[in-house]
Structure 1
Amino acid sequence: MNMDAPKEPKVDSTLSKGLSILENLVASQEGKGVTDLSKELGLTKSNTFRLLQTLVTLGYVQHLPDKTYSATLKTWRVGRASVENLNLRELAAPELSFLSQETGETVYLAVREGLSVVYIDKVDSQKPIRSWNAIGGTAPLHCVGTGKAILAADYDKLRDQIGPALTRHTDRTLTDPGALEADLGRTLKRGFAYDTGEFRDRILSFGAAITLPGGEPVGALGISLPDINMPEGGEERFGALVAHAARSVSAKLGSR
């Protein structure tokens, strides 16, 4: 017996079960009842009910009129605060500058909010014809480069939620779940997402996810441009540039 072997850290069983319930509700598009939660998580109904009551009292879960439970905005606020604490804007500023200099087009830093992306920083293009979105602007996950990059990195978690939300914005929008899943597979294989004018007509965008060491996406870098500005070989070049920049930011997160 090795007396010097490090001891496994103790995990509080009640806290672990409560967090598993919260994670399950956050990932669900609809409210869930005690029976469904207990079956999915392997808990007794009485234990599930007691934990839900605690989460309701603390403000992380709400009891809906149809007797189901769902996560509240307090959970969302905690998640957003965690993202803000990563100082993504500061960490990604050199990469945004790099992408701007290399492409001359509008570049963005975005994070996920529900089934949308929110642009939290950008560098504008100085070209006469350009793409434009305001800081604080939003777009659906499934039809812009930054959103598709985040979606591809977290698809197992978001699959059930995104299916019913595939709204059409142009004739190029991917509204079929199978077509979207195939596109996300290509995104993972090549390392960047490509929007061919799926949110706004004739506006192209590229995106690559910024991830934590475990692979969880916390944001994405993106390049956006009118199709008239796309140079020959631009898809491969812009895709490679944004993928390289996102890996650079991810490496910084991993070294913190």
Structure 2
Amino acid sequence: MPERLDATLSKGMLVLEALSSSPRPLGISDLAARLSLNKSNVHRLVRTLKALEYLEQEPDRTYRCTLKVWKLGNSVIGHMNLPAIAGPAMHALARLSGETVHLSVIDGIDVLYVEKVDSARSVRAYSERGGTAPLHCVATGKVLLAFNYELLRPRLSGNLSRQTARTITTLKALDTEMETVRARGIATNIAEYRDDVTGVAAPVRDPEGRVIAAVGVSGPLSRLTRQQIRKIGPAVAEAGRRISEAVNAGRPL
């Protein structure tokens, strides 16, 4: 006989899943209708999750997940050894591009480099495993931001730091850039974080289709030109798909 599930815990998890998968915040009535629960139950569950800082309320009385949910997700990524799973596709992309390849996840409003494969060339993009950079001005960060924008946008107001003359520093311009990234499925950084560095990146998705990481190529502007970025863009997107498949399989492909 299957083990009896705790009803309140199960319903609370359903609320979290509904909000984390929704492209927009949801109100009590929307959640009740989606989950076939009565509104008083949903209100109690939401109130508890908000008190535990897993949810936050918008001015229009809708709710969204907080970054505390992301922290849990990043912990899971660490335990599943994502860098090892992504390794074969990253090395293949490094050989094809001749440039440095990064694997990144979200860390607050920054991108965290969890793995990299260095270019064999003496002049290359510099980075460190465990290093960070602002989400809004590097290619892997833009990918992570674009596909999790509803959650992260409110935290960027006043935090779009200028790194170079090309850095996006207004939410209006960032909104437009995020639409472009979602439409293309890849993101670029043309000297927006460092004057002499460019990059292109693609998403890595979990079995539910959520973007949990990004893989990207970066290199010196003199070598990784706009034309070169257009040439290798499809290979970067393919690396993202391969890593996503490996994540779903739980092992390198």
TM-score, normalised by the number of residues in structure 1:
0.74
Aligned-partner residue type, residue 170 of structure 1 = T
TM-superposed deviation, 1:17: 3.6
Shift of the 156–83 alpha-carbon distance from structure 1 to 2, 3 Å rule, reads same
Quote the offset at 1:184 in angstroms: 1.8
Q: Over residues 49-69 of structure 1, what are the superposed CA-to-partner deviations in whole Å (9 max), with x where a residue is unaligned? A: 97369x65xxx67xxxxxxxx
Map of 1:137 onto structure 2: 131
In the alignment, structure 1 residue 51 sits paired with structure 2 residue 45: no
In structure 2, the residue matched to 1:12 is 7
Amino acid at match of 2:189: D
Q: Distance in 2 between matches of 1:151 and 1:72?
A: 14
Aligned residue pairs total: 227
In 2, the alpha carbon distance for the partners of 1:215 and 1:22 equals 13
Corresponding residue for residue 172 of structure 1: 166
Contact 2:113–2:132 (Cα < 8 Å) also in 1:
yes
Q: CA RMSD in A?
A: 3.5
What are the ranges of 5 or more consecutive residues in structure 2 without an aligned counterpart? Answer: 21-26, 33-38, 55-64
Aligned match of 1:222: 216
CA deviations over 1:197-226 (Å, ceiling 9, x no partner): 111112101111101132211111111111
Contact 1:205–1:223 under 8 Å retained in 2 = yes
Residue 165 of structure 1 aligns to a residue whose secondary structure is coil
The 5 Å alignment of 1:70-149 reads 78-149=72-143
Which one has a bigger Cα radius of gyration?
1
2:210 equivalent to 1:213: no
8 Å contact from structure 2 (residues 140, 216) kept in 1: yes
Change in 2 beyond 3 A, CA 1:23/1:116: farther
SS, match of residue 114 in structure 2: strand
The 1-side partners of 2:165 and 2:86 are apart by: 33
Partner Cα distance (1:49, 1:125) in 2: 48
2:154 aligned to 140, 153, 160, which one?
Answer: 160
Report the Cα distance in structure 2 between the residues aligned to 1:163 and 1:215, rounded to whole angstroms: 27
User: Hey, what does 1:5 align to over in structure 2?
Assistant: none
C-alpha deviation, 1:126, in angstroms: 2.1
Distance 1:140 1:234 in 2: 24
Matches within 5 A, 1:192-211: 192-211=186-205
Query: Runs of 5+ in structure 1 lacking a partner?
Result: 1-8, 26-36, 62-70
> 8 Å contact 2:66–2:151 — kept in the other structure?
no
Counterpart for residue 58 of structure 2: none
SS of equivalent residue, structure 1 residue 163: coil
Q: 1:175/1:185 Cα in 2 relative to 1: closer, same or farther (>3 Å)? A: same
What amino acid is the match of 1:121?
A: E
